[in-house]
Amino acid sequence: MSVDQRIIVPLDVPSASAALALVEALPQVSFWKMGLELFVSAGPALIEALRARQKRVFLDLKFHDIPNTMAGACAAAGRYGIDLMTVHTAAGKEAMAAAQAAAIAGAAAAGVDPPTVLGVTLLTSIASNVLAEELKIPLGSTNYVLQMARLAQDSGLSGAVCSPQEAGQLRRFLPADFVLVCPGVRPAWTSSQDQRRTLTPLQALQAGATYLVIGRPITAAANPAAAFERICEECSAAIAP
């Protein structure tokens, strides 16, 4: 898989028209992430529009509820023909297993390929001190993320969302085909902004990330297309065989 196919760009915009304008402005981007704000605003119709343009879709809604509710939501999402989707690992093993089975069933009912269901381990905006002081979780962030990723695997999920700083450790303990999606990736030439546990794109790939989620360094750049190409070139030059 080439570097450009491993970069997912978030559609962090408030409307379908703004999202499609961004997609048209960056034709070289093949994989787009749709989060809560845009899905609530634009709904499944935008997913159809992206698929009609031959784009891959990461539906990042982070479902977190009781098992029956998560199953219903994931069955509905599975029918969209998306590539990746997220649930919170903190919902527990029963809920994740139900989500996985429902996503597969929903896709089968719609005659589309099932999405890869990812378990969100720990939001990249949460640092170890927040985990300890506010959430009262005694594990450090690295060990907590490993625990939750293992729980996702034990629940039947095929991947997890983690910060790039945890990708290396997860790769040592999880199967090679376990998908790791890393947000909070920032090139050295841009600000980390509200992300706390970051690496550069090259460092994240070298650590074992399958996909990188890179937003504002591309979409807020003076020339988004040039920023995307610069990231691809920096990574390709170093990871080429």
pLDDT tens, residue by residue, 33-92: 999 999 999 999 999 999 999 999 999 999 999 999 999 999 999 999 999 999 999 999
Over residues 111-127, mean pLDDT: 94
Sequential DSSP letters for 54-113: T-EEEEEEEE-S-HHHHHHHHHHHHTTT-SEEEEEGGG-HHHHHHHHHHHHHHHHHHTSP
Confidence at residue 127, expressed as pLDDT on a 0 to 100 scale: 83
Question: Cβ atoms within 10 A of the Cβ of 152, count?
Answer: 27
Model confidence at 191: pLDDT above 90 = no
Q: In degrees rounded to 5, what are phi and psi of residue 117?
A: -90, 125
Residues carrying an active site annotation: 62
Hey, what CATH class is 3-239 in? alpha beta
pLDDT band at 238 (very low <50, low <70, confident <90, very high): low
Residue boundaries of the structural domains of the chain: 3-239
> 221: number of CA atoms within 13 Å, CB side?
22
According to DSSP H, which parts of 155-222 are helical? 164-173, 201-207, 216-219
Whole-structure pTM value? 0.94
Rg (CA), the chain: 17
Residue 89 and residue 120 in contact, taking contact as beta carbons nearer than 8 Å:
yes
